[in-house]
């Protein structure tokens, strides 16, 4: 009885698995192989050199945009998580408000480009924010730094990825029973105390996961920096995208994509290390796995 | 009370830009700043008269339709497999699904571009659909997996024990039970494809989908015409979301009804 069931399972899973192998795993491997090839006069030559990696690491431009990407990524992911937690907390423990949930889903489903465009019109020199500031008499001349800066990129990215982060926080908080919070409150903990001493340690893995996913998405986003970053807010994502669109040095772009991947892993390990050192992240057995 | 205030301020931050977009789509003057110069439908009239926009919309609907169909077929089989697989099979499927979700679209886009170049495949509508399925399939499997956790495999066994063939069991027991989940998931796949821009920009070649068209307009200028297109896209997204909600709602009602019958 057992054997035919599982072989049937294998057969049913095969098309999807095959699809993902051919169109996701294989392309990723080709991209990795590409990162060791060379591009000479618009032709890509199979090779095995580390120059793409070395040239990137030696290039000041690469470091400028990568540090930008890391800074924007860390600030954005932190602010996004800090904003997502109260909303997630409210939805899980206070009121499962369908209205709030659907308002979040509406922003999540509203077009990515539309939201970038919205911030562009909001922050422009003749944009809504400047008009309000001038009419309120706070400033005399339009503030130009709103647009085309790291600030503009960060606020737009927060807006784009906050709904996603809220949903991740909701799912990680849902695993912690309200009884635990109630018990802590009965024993005299303040609401914030209950959060930091009871919820945060238990939900740490989920919250770190939400932070990291937001970081990876934000640091890899290249459209927002292109539209709103000006010259100071460029990131590695845009550098990589340009290698595949304008300059045409695909192997170099491939190497930079993998370097960015490496940076994300280093950040993840640092965040986990920091969490353990401060005692906020506790190593615990993944009890969830056993339940399926 | 303080928490409620914080939550609503955050929601205001999320909604405010969308409200501004919608408001200025009705602006009588071409400027996008206050003071508001009165309401007009001129930008919507311009949208309707724009042939390029129309063909981009048709292209997007076609791509999203095929993406939803292929994703639905592959995803349904994979989700049914999920119920039958052992632990190792599930882990494999999970890794294959979660990795692309956790990577930026840029990475997926350039690796597909490299694949198509290496295999000498001409970039076209077909390559866009192939790429969109890579993005939609993992989301569909993850979403379905959560819903199918409630599915009781003993119902299938009961049907088989009562003499139904494998096909009959699928058609009369499994499919009716999972159909609402399937439709809601297909809508999700459609929405993912319809809005996709990052990956598309690498694999579209000379084809223009709606987001690609909006992008080319955005780069050139700022005009309420883009607001009007955006508002229509927003209304469309809300309609999709509402349809998914409605199906989920009906499903819950029918589930409750069937429970009272048995």
Give per-residue pLDDT as tens, B102-148. Answer: 888 899 999 999 999 989 889 999 999 999 999 999 988 888 877 77
Q: What confidence category does residue B167 fall into, taking pLDDT thresholds of 50, 70 and 90?
A: confident
A62 in a domain, yes or no? no
Q: Which DSSP letter does residue A146 get? A: G
Q: B-chain residues within 8 Å CB-CB of A128?
A: 20, 32-34
Mean pLDDT (chain A) is: 83
Does B17 touch chain A if contact means CB atoms closer than 8 Å? yes
Does B141 touch chain A if contact means CB atoms closer than 8 Å? yes
Q: Which of A276, A231, A283, A286 is nearest to A61 (CA)?
A: A231
Closest CB from A16, A31, A118 relative to B77: A16
Q: A-chain residues within 8 Å CB-CB of B33?
A: 126-128, 130-131
Is residue A282's pLDDT more than 90?
no
Taking an 8 Å cut-off on Cβ atoms, the answer to whether B89 and A10 are in contact is yes
Task: For residues A274 and A285, give the distance between their C-alpha atoms in angstroms, rounded to a whole number.
Answer: 19
DSSP chain B: -HHHHHHHHHHHHHHHHHHHHHHHHTBSSS--SSSP--B--HHHHHHHT-HHHHHHHHHHHHHHHHHHHHHHHHHHHHHHHHHH--HHHHHHHHHHHHHHHTS-HHHHHHHHHHHHHHTTPPPSHHHHHHHHHHHHHHHHHHHHHHHHTT--THHHHHHHHTT--HHHHIIIIIHHHHHHHHHHHHHHHHHHHHH--HHHHHH-TT---HHHHHHHHHHH---HHHHHHHHHHHHHHHHHHHHHHHHHHHHHHHHHHHHHH-
A96 in a domain, yes or no? yes
- Going along chain B from its start, the domains and CATH numbers come out as 52-221 (1.10.3720.10)
Is residue A1's pLDDT more than 80?
no
- ω before A291 within 30° of 0 (cis)? no
Q: What confidence category does residue B241 fall into, taking pLDDT thresholds of 50, 70 and 90?
A: confident
Q: Which DSSP letter does residue A217 get? A: H
Does B5 touch chain A if contact means CB atoms closer than 8 Å? no
Taking an 8 Å cut-off on Cβ atoms, the answer to whether B237 and A31 are in contact is no
Q: What confidence category does residue A138 fall into, taking pLDDT thresholds of 50, 70 and 90?
A: confident
Taking an 8 Å cut-off on Cβ atoms, the answer to whether B14 and A107 are in contact is yes
Q: What is the token pair recorded at A284?
A: 């615990």
Q: What is the pLDDT averaged over residues A277-281?
A: 72
Mean pLDDT (chain B) is: 85
Within chain A, where are the H helices? 2-20, 26-34, 51-58, 60-89, 98-109, 112-123, 128-135, 150-173, 178-186, 191-194, 200-220, 223-228, 236-245, 250-277, 287-291
Sequence-separated contacts (24+) of B9-14 with Cβ below 8 Å: B10/A83, B10/A86, B10/A87, B10/A162, B11/A87, B11/A100, B11/A103, B11/A104, B13/A83, B13/A159, B13/A162, B14/A103, B14/A104, B14/A107, B14/A159, B14/A162, B14/A163
- The residues pairing with B27 across neighbouring beta strands, listed in sequence order, are B39
A192 in a domain, yes or no? yes
Does A4 touch chain B if contact means CB atoms closer than 8 Å? no
Q: What is the pLDDT averaged over residues B232-238?
A: 86
How far is A225 from chain B, CA to nearest CA, in Å? Answer: 13
Taking an 8 Å cut-off on Cβ atoms, the answer to whether B31 and A90 are in contact is no
Which of the pair, B52 or A197, is modelled with greater confidence?
B52
Please report the pLDDT score of residue A3 as a whole number. Answer: 45
Within A35-124, where are the H helices? 51-58, 60-89, 98-109, 112-123
Helix (H) or strand (E) holding A249: none
Please report the pLDDT score of residue B210 as a whole number. Answer: 92
Tokens 């979040």 appear where? A104
Please report the pLDDT score of residue A139 as a whole number. Answer: 75
Half-sphere exposure of A240 (CA within 13 A, CB side): 33
What angle (nearest 5°) sits at the alpha carbon of residue A66, between those of residues A61 and A71? 130
Taking an 8 Å cut-off on Cβ atoms, the answer to whether B32 and A124 are in contact is yes
User: Is residue A45 classed as helix, strand or coil in its secondary structure?
Assistant: strand
Sequence-separated contacts (24+) of A275-281 with Cβ below 8 Å: A275/A204, A275/A208, A279/A201, A280/A200, A280/A201, A280/A204, A281/A201, A281/A204, A281/A205, A281/A208
Does A17 touch chain B if contact means CB atoms closer than 8 Å? yes
Q: What percent of chain A has a predicted confidence (pLDDT) above 90?
A: 23
Q: Which of B103, B97, B208 is nearest to B145 (CA)?
A: B97
Does B149 touch chain A if contact means CB atoms closer than 8 Å? yes
Tell me which chain A residue has its CA closest to the CA of residue B132.
Answer: A23
Is residue A16's pLDDT more than 60?
yes
Which of the pair, A197 or A114, is modelled with greater confidence?
A114
A41 in a domain, yes or no? no
Phi-psi bin for A177: left (phi > 0), alpha (psi -120 to 50), beta?
beta
A173 in a domain, yes or no? yes
Does B211 touch chain A if contact means CB atoms closer than 8 Å? yes
Please report the pLDDT score of residue B262 as a whole number. Answer: 47
| Per-residue pLDDT tens over the stretch B80-99 | 887 777 788 888 888 888 88
Q: What is the domain range of residue A225?
A: 80-111+161-283
Tell me which chain B residue has its CA closest to the CA of residue A134.
Answer: B34
Closest CB from A118, A250, A257 relative to B21: A118
| Per-residue pLDDT tens over the stretch A184-193 | 888 888 777 8
Please report the pLDDT score of residue B42 as a whole number. Answer: 83
Within A223-249, where are the H helices? 223-228, 236-245
A135 in a domain, yes or no? no
Those of residues 100-129 in B touching chain A at CB distance below 8 A are: 100, 102-108, 110-115, 117-118
Q: What percent of chain B has a predicted confidence (pLDDT) above 70?
A: 94
Total structural domains in chain A?
Answer: 1
Please say whether the dihedral angle defined by the alpha carbons of residues A148, B237, A159 and B132, taken in this order, is positive or negative.
Answer: negative
Phi, psi angle pair for B124, to nearest 5°:
-160, -170
Domain CATH number, residue A231: 1.10.3720.10
Helix (H) or strand (E) holding A43: strand A43-45
Is residue B189's pLDDT more than 50?
yes
Q: What percent of chain A has a predicted confidence (pLDDT) above 70?
A: 89
Taking an 8 Å cut-off on Cβ atoms, the answer to whether A10 and B15 are in contact is no
Those of residues 206-235 in A touching chain B at CB distance below 8 A are: 213, 216-217, 219-223, 227
| Per-residue pLDDT tens over the stretch B41-73 | 888 888 888 888 889 999 999 999 999 999 999
A13 in a domain, yes or no? no
A105 in a domain, yes or no? yes
Taking an 8 Å cut-off on Cβ atoms, the answer to whether B110 and A112 are in contact is no
Closest CB from B3, B75, B104 relative to A86: B3
Taking an 8 Å cut-off on Cβ atoms, the answer to whether B34 and A103 are in contact is no
Q: What confidence category does residue B34 fall into, taking pLDDT thresholds of 50, 70 and 90?
A: low
Helix (H) or strand (E) holding A278: none
Q: What is the pLDDT averaged over residues A211-236?
A: 86
Taking an 8 Å cut-off on Cβ atoms, the answer to whether B226 and A117 are in contact is yes
Q: A-chain residues within 8 Å CB-CB of B81?
A: 8-13, 16
Q: What confidence category does residue A291 fall into, taking pLDDT thresholds of 50, 70 and 90?
A: very low
| Per-residue pLDDT tens over the stretch A39-94 | 876 677 788 888 889 888 888 989 999 998 999 999 999 999 999 999 998 998 88
Does A46 touch chain B if contact means CB atoms closer than 8 Å? no
Q: What is the token pair recorded at A287?
A: 């009890």
Which of B2, B15, B36, B78 to mutate to probe the A interface, most A CBs <10 Å?
A: B78
Those of residues 51-90 in B touching chain A at CB distance below 8 A are: 73-75, 77-78, 80-86, 89
Q: What is the token pair recorded at B39?
A: 């309401």
Please report the pLDDT score of residue A102 as a whole number. Answer: 86
Q: What confidence category does residue B164 fall into, taking pLDDT thresholds of 50, 70 and 90?
A: confident
Q: Which of A258, A281, A259 is nearest to A269 (CA)?
A: A281
């Amino acid at each position: 009885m057992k054997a035919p069931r599982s072989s049937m399972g294998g057969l049913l899973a095969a098309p999807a698995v095959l699809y993902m192998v051919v169109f996701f795993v294989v392309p990723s491997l080709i991209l990795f192989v590409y990162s060791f090839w060379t591009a000479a006069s618009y032709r890509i030559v199979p090779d095995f050199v580390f120059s793409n990696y070395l040239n990137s690491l030696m290039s000041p431009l690469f470091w400028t945009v990568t540090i930008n990407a890391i800074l924007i990524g860390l600030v954005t992911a932190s602010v996004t998580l800090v904003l997502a937690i109260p909303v997630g907390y409210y939805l899980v423990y206070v009121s499962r408000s369908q209205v709030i949930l659907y308002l979040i889903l509406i922003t999540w489903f509203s077009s990515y480009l539309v939201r970038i465009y919205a911030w562009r019109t909001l922050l422009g020199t003749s944009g809504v924010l400047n008009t309000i500031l001038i009419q309120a008499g706070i400033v005399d001349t339009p503030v130009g730094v709103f647009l085309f800066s790291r600030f503009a990129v960060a606020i737009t990215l927060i807006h784009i990825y906050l709904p996603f982060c809220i949903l991740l926080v909701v799912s990680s908080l849902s695993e912690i029973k309200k009884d635990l919070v109630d018990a802590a409150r009965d024993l005299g903990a303040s609401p914030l105390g209950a959060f930091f001493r009871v919820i945060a340690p238990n939900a740490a893995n989920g919250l770190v996961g939400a932070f990291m996913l937001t970081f990876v998405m934000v640091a890899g986003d290249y459209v927002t920096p292109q539209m709103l970053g000006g010259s100071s807010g460029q990131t590695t994502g845009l550098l990589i995208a340009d290698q595949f669109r304008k300059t045409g040095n695909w192997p170099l772009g491939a190497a930079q994509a993998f370097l960015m991947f490496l940076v994300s892993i280093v950040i993840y390990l640092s965040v986990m290390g920091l969490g353990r050192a401060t005692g906020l992240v506790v190593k615990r057995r993944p009890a969830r796995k056993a339940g399926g | 009370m303080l928490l409620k205030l914080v939550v609503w301020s955050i929601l205001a931050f999320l909604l405010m830009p969308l409200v501004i977009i919608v408001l200025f789509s009705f602006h009588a003057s071409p400027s996008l700043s206050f003071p508001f110069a009165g309401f007009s439908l001129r930008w919507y009239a311009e949208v309707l008269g724009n042939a390029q926009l129309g063909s981009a919309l048709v292209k997007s609907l076609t791509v999203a339709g095929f993406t939803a169909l292929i994703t639905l077929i592959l995803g349904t089989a994979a989700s049914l497999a999920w119920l039958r697989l052992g632990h190792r099979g599930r882990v494999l499927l999970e890794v294959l699904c979660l990795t692309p979700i956790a990577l930026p679209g840029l990475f997926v886009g350039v690796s597909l571009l490299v694949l198509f170049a290496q295999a000498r495949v001409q970039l076209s509508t077909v390559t866009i659909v192939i790429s969109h399925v890579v993005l939609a399939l993992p989301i569909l499997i993850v979403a379905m997996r959560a819903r199918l956790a409630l599915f009781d495999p003993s119902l299938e066994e009961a049907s088989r024990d009562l003499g139904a063939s494998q096909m009959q069991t699928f058609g009369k027991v499994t499919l009716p039970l999972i159909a609402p989940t399937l439709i809601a998931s297909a809508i999700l796949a459609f929405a993912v494809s319809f809005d996709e821009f990052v990956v598309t920009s690498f694999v579209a070649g000379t084809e223009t989908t709606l987001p690609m068209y909006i992008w080319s307009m955005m780069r050139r200028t700022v005009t309420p015409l883009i607001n009007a297109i955006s508002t229509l896209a927003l209304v469309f997204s809300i309609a999709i979301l509402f349809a998914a909600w409605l199906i989920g709602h009906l499903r819950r009602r029918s589930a409750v009804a069937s429970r009272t019958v048995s």
